[in-house]
């Protein structure tokens, strides 16, 4: 069945290292979102793409985070350099303009 | 204006009881109000959604009540079951394909 696939599911890294998270949206979906979930802040929108074009990345720390969609089957979220405060679960979600949003199972990031 | 306030933060209900979670919003441009259910280690999944042209929507044991004038909406879970134990998020957006602003979440525990 169709699902959003995220890799890696878990990542432990040291402060200062580069982290790349990948997302394969559901085939045919034209909107892709990156959300970050923490106990303190809940679900925060980091970036939003429509038809692969970035529409909103105002929630993303620009100095260290970047989000791209090199093609319709891949979205990436990169953190360079990573910091302990980036520890969180990062969710990718995809959908259509008139439909529900489908979330992946998340990438749990721990920065030591 | 982008915030969605959710309460309570946690809720304990006995099996068979009614669970009620409330949300309030400020942005009158919001016109799509979904509720998401999240189990530990999983991504949020759409439970039920409503648009402001109706005051209530029911799907099985789950009902959304919507009060446009008060800018509030709530989720009612009838005959709550232990399997309903999860975190519930309300959300709002300007349309179903746009960015979702999430409430803080409610951790529901249904005791057997």
The count of structural domains within chain A is 1
Question: Do A93 and A33 touch, CB atoms closer than 8 A?
Answer: yes
Q: What is the pLDDT of residue A41?
A: 84
Q: Which residues span the domain enclosing A61?
A: 5-111
Q: How far apart are the C-alpha atoms of A93 and A21, rounded to whole Å?
A: 13
Interface probe, candidates B44, B57, B88, B101, chain A, greatest A C-beta count within 10 A = B44
Nearest CA of chain A to the CA of B73: how many Å? 18
Whether a cis peptide bond, with omega within 30° of 0, leads into B77 is: no
Q: What is the pLDDT of residue A97?
A: 75
Question: What does chain B come to in residues?
Answer: 112
CATH of the domain at B33: 2.60.40.10
Q: Which residues span the domain enclosing B43?
A: 4-111
Question: Do A50 and A33 touch, CB atoms closer than 8 A?
Answer: no
Q: What is the pLDDT of residue B89?
A: 96
Q: What is the pLDDT of residue B17?
A: 97
The count of structural domains within chain B is 1
Binary contact (B97, A98; C-beta < 8 A): yes
CATH of the domain at A87: 2.60.40.10
Partner residues linked to B2 by β-bridges: none
| A32 shares contact with chain B (CB less than 8 Å) | no
Q: Over the stretch A41-91, which tens digit does the pLDDT of each residue have? A: 889 999 999 999 998 888 888 899 999 999 999 999 999 999 999 999 999
On chain A, the residues whose CB falls within 8 A of the CB of B96 are 95, 97-100
Q: What is the pLDDT of residue A38?
A: 93
Question: Do B110 and B84 touch, CB atoms closer than 8 A?
Answer: yes
Mean pLDDT of chain A: 93
Partner residues linked to B33 by β-bridges: B50
Interface probe, candidates A35, A94, A100, chain B, greatest B C-beta count within 10 A = A100
Q: Which of A31, A96, A103 sits opposite B44 (nearest CB)?
A: A103
Binary contact (B104, A42; C-beta < 8 A): yes
Q: Which of B49, B97, B102 sits opposite A42 (nearest CB)?
A: B102
On chain B, the residues whose CB falls within 8 A of the CB of A50 are 97
pLDDT per position in chain B (112 positions), as tens? 568 999 999 999 999 999 999 999 999 989 899 999 999 999 999 999 999 899 999 999 999 999 999 999 999 999 999 999 999 999 999 876 678 899 999 999 999 9
Q: What is the pLDDT of residue B2?
A: 63
- Dihedral sign computed on CA atoms, order B93, B98, B101, B105: positive
Q: What is the pLDDT of residue B96?
A: 66
Nearest CA of chain B to the CA of A3: how many Å? 11
Q: How wide is the angle at C-alpha A83 spanned by C-alphas A69 and B90, nearest 5°?
A: 60
Question: Do A48 and A33 touch, CB atoms closer than 8 A?
Answer: yes
């Amino acid at each position: 069945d169709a699902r959003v696939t995220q890799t890696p599911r878990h990542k432990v890294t040291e402060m200062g290292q580069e982290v790349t998270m990948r997302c394969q949206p559901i085939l045919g979906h034209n909107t892709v979102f990156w959300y970050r979930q923490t106990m303190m802040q809940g679900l925060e929108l980091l970036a939003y793409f429509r038809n692969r074009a970035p529409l909103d990345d105002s929630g993303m720390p620009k100095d260290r985070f970047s989000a791209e969609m090199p093609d319709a089957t891949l979205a990436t979220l990169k953190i360079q350099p990573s910091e302990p405060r980036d520890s969180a679960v990062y969710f990718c979600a995809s959908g259509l303009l008139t439909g529900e949003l489908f979330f992946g199972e998340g990438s749990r990031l721990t920065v030591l | 204006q982008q915030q969605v306030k959710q309460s309570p933060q946690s809720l304990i209900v006995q099996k068979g009881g009614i669970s009620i979670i409330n949300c309030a919003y400020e942005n009158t441009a919001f016109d799509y109000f979904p509720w998401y259910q999240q189990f530990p280690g999983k991504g949020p999944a759409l439970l039920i959604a409503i648009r402001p042209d109706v005051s209530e929507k029911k799907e099985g044991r789950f009902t959304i009540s919507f009060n446009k004038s008060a800018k509030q909406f709530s989720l009612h879970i009838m005959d709550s079951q232990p399997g309903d134990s999860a975190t519930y998020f309300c959300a709002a957006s300007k349309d179903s394909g746009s960015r979702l602003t999430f409430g803080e979440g409610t951790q529901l525990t249904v005791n057997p």
